[in-house]
Amino acid sequence: MERYYNPEVETASREELDRIQTERLIEQVNHVYNNVPLYRQRMDEAGVKPEDIKCLDDIRKLPFTSKQDLRDTYPYGMFAVPMKDVTRIHASSGTTGKQIVVGYTDGDLDIWDTCCARQLVATGATSEDKVHVSYGYGLFTGGLGLHGGSQKLGCTTIPVSSGNTARQLTIMQDFGSTILGATPSYAMYLGESAAKAGIDTSKLPLKVGIFGAEPWTEEMRQSIEKSLNIKAYDIYGLTEICGPGVAYECSQQKGMHVNEDHFIIEIINPETGEPVPDGTKGEIVFSSITKKAFPLLRFRTKDIGVITHEKCACGRTFVRMSKPLGRVDDMLIVRGVNLFPSQIEAVLLQENQSPNYQIIVDRSGSLDSIEVDIEMNEDNFSDKPSDIIGMEKALENKFKSALGIKPKVKLVSPDTIPRSEGKAVRVVDKRHVYENK
Ligand code: ADP
Ligand code: ZN
């Protein structure tokens, strides 16, 4: 039997959700117009007044908000309540530039915890569970986000934070963790380290993983599920909107349900800003309609995704978004071909290669070059140069047929590609070095 944390809203009819969203959107537009100078100015420039927003479609009358706007108003320019009401600050990891700062009221934190509790319940969690949080604690939202959800649900929360892998494994065994929260790349590493330490993961009480904060493929999911002997769920979020828990995967694992009573999702054509229909890829845009301290309207995430309103067998009615295919910023354009690191990862794992890889893009003269370094694993390990060259050539051809581009493949010794305890660094783009000179 499917369980929900907030059944009335998670399974509400579309009409009911529309009603909730419209009411909250109108209230939020008034709140930002009255309290955030940038929004008042932008809306005045666009000739839109709060009273022009009467239904959900009217959201399109509102201006977009960009990451640049948040950098320009750093640190507190977008805050919409007096600082005395702000009880927590977080900051983005700064993966793609200067970090941005966000704030929460007590009420905002409560909503965030609720969103994460919904994710936990969707994986089958109850207050009997022991939630081992290996996302980093601190300004990064991952650690305290899942922590809040776990506390709210009444689980036994184990705030391990990231790092010190041997200790993580000891805690997992001794404390009996049943649910693990981590970045997928760190979960991979934990699995790998458990195997090396001779730990039989099938004997551990661990049964579920909640992984997000960076792109990962279905192939990676299977590989983690096997090595840690768990069922792995995808969770999506971003600091600007609240952190993890903006969207969450259910038992069906066919996309993540967006917490629509708190966030409105739109998918737009990134070039024109126009909405695209369900099923069409585009840039994900979010509006937070209940957040008080740091509310954003039509925030362009730069993440590329697809949504569907099709009925989900789990009974939840919230719209589902696909795994983000990557960020606009991460998309590599190599010799005119658009490429996401996740596409390279999918090919590697289909070919039973190690998920420990790094992509190096460089330019000599006006020609781009791309190299994929992959660690050899137990199945294909060899120290015979002729074997290695043969495998490298075969992989190069696989890439060519799957992606339309032939990178140079280099098989490297196990354990030579740096592991990450937070978000993995998949791409080294040396071309930027030249541009900055
Ligand atoms: P930064 O932008 O500095 O990395 P955040 O920690 O706020 O800061 O990261 C949010 C971003 O992480 C999202 O915009 C998205 O690109 C990525 N992300 C988060 N969750 C997922 C997920 N489940 N799958 C893919 N990408 C994700
Ligand atoms: Zn579902």
State the pTM of this model: 0.89
The reported pLDDT for the residue numbered 159 is 98
Please tell me the distance between residue 246's alpha carbon and the centre of ligand 2 in angstroms.
15
Q: For 179-197, write each residue's pLDDT tens digit.
A: 999 999 999 999 999 999 9
| Nearest atom in ligand 1 to 94's CA | 3
Check residue 91 and give left, alpha or beta (phi > 0: left; psi -120 to 50: alpha). beta
Q: What angle do CA 350, 356, 359 make, to 5 degrees?
A: 90
Mutation test of ligand 1: which of 96, 248, 303 has the most ligand atoms closer than 8 Å to its C-beta?
303
Residues 397-417: tens digit of each pLDDT: 999 998 888 999 999 999 999
Stretch (H or E) spanning 156:
strand 156-158
407 is written with which tokens? Answer: 């990178």
pLDDT value at residue 359: 93
Asked if 169 contacts 193 with a C-beta cutoff of 8 angstroms, the reply is yes
CA of 317 to the centre of ligand 2 (A): 8
Does ligand 1 come within 6 angstroms of the Cβ of 342? no
**Cis ω before 159 (30° cut-off from 0):** no
pLDDT in the model for residue 434 = 45
Ligand closest to CA 217: 1
**Stretch 365-372: mean pLDDT, rounded?**
87
Distance CA 263, CA 276 (A): 18
Residue 436 has pLDDT above 60, yes or no: no
Please give the distance, rounded to the nearest whole angstrom, from the Cα atom of residue 7 to the centre of ligand 2: 13
pLDDT at 404: 85
Percent of the chain exceeding pLDDT 70 equals 97
Residue 326 has pLDDT above 80, yes or no: no
pLDDT given at position 435: 40
Whether the CB of 96 sits within 6 Å of ligand 1: yes
423, 344, 419: which is closest to 190 by C-alpha? Answer: 419
pLDDT value of position 437: 30
Task: Please write the tens of the pLDDT for every residue from 27-38.
Answer: 999 999 999 999
State which of 216, 224, 238 you would mutate to test the pocket of ligand 1, scoring each by most atoms of that ligand within 8 A of its C-beta. Answer: 238
> Model confidence over 109-128: pLDDT tens digits?
999 999 999 999 999 999 99
Task: Verify whether ligand 1 is closer than 6 Å to residue 234 (CB atom).
Answer: yes
Per-residue pLDDT tens over the stretch 125-170: 999 999 999 999 999 999 999 999 999 999 999 999 999 999 999 9
Q: Convert the pLDDT of each residue in 376-402 to its tens digit.
A: 988 888 989 999 999 999 999 999 998
Which ligand has the minimum distance to the alpha carbon of residue 11? 2
